[in-house]
Amino acid sequence: MIILYGIKNCDTVKKARNWLEQNQIDYQFHDYRSDGLELSLLEHFEATLGWETLVNKRSASWRQLSDEQKNTLDKTSAMAIMLEMPTLIKRPILDNGSTLLIGFKASEYQQL
C-alpha cells in the first residue's frame, strides 16, 4: 500500500497526486491537517530521512519561526516543532512500505 503524506492544497503534493493518478497507481493520501501527525510516524520519517532533510526551510512555517528557534534548531527541537506544526515538514513524502521519497520528481516516482 502506497501512502502519500502532505497537505492537500500544497502545489507539490498536487503534482505528486496527479502523477500517481495519471499512472493509475493506487495510493492512500494522508493529510497532516485533517488526519493528524503521530509522533511514531514522525520518528519513522526522521530515522529514515534525517531531521535536517525533513525541515522545509523554504516554507511559510519556517519564516514564522523566531530567529532564536532557527539558530538553535537541533533534532529534539525540530521534532517538537514539526509535531506541533506539520506544515514545516518538506512534502510530499511517499511511502511504498520499503522506501520513503521526499519531494516530488517524476523520474524518482517512476523508478519506485
Q: How far apart are CA 34 and CA 59, in angstroms?
A: 19
Residues whose CB falls within 8 Å of the CB of residue 56, separated by 6 or more in sequence, listed in order: 62, 88, 89, 90, 91
Buried b (16+ CB within 10 A) or exposed e, 14-52: eebbeebeeeeeebebbbbeeeebeeebbeebbeebebe
Q: Is 19 a catalytic residue?
A: no
- The angle, 0 to 180 degrees and rounded to 10, between the axes of the packed helices 75-84 and 39-49 is 130
The catalytically annotated residue of 10, 13, 42, 55 is 10
Which positions are catalytic? 10
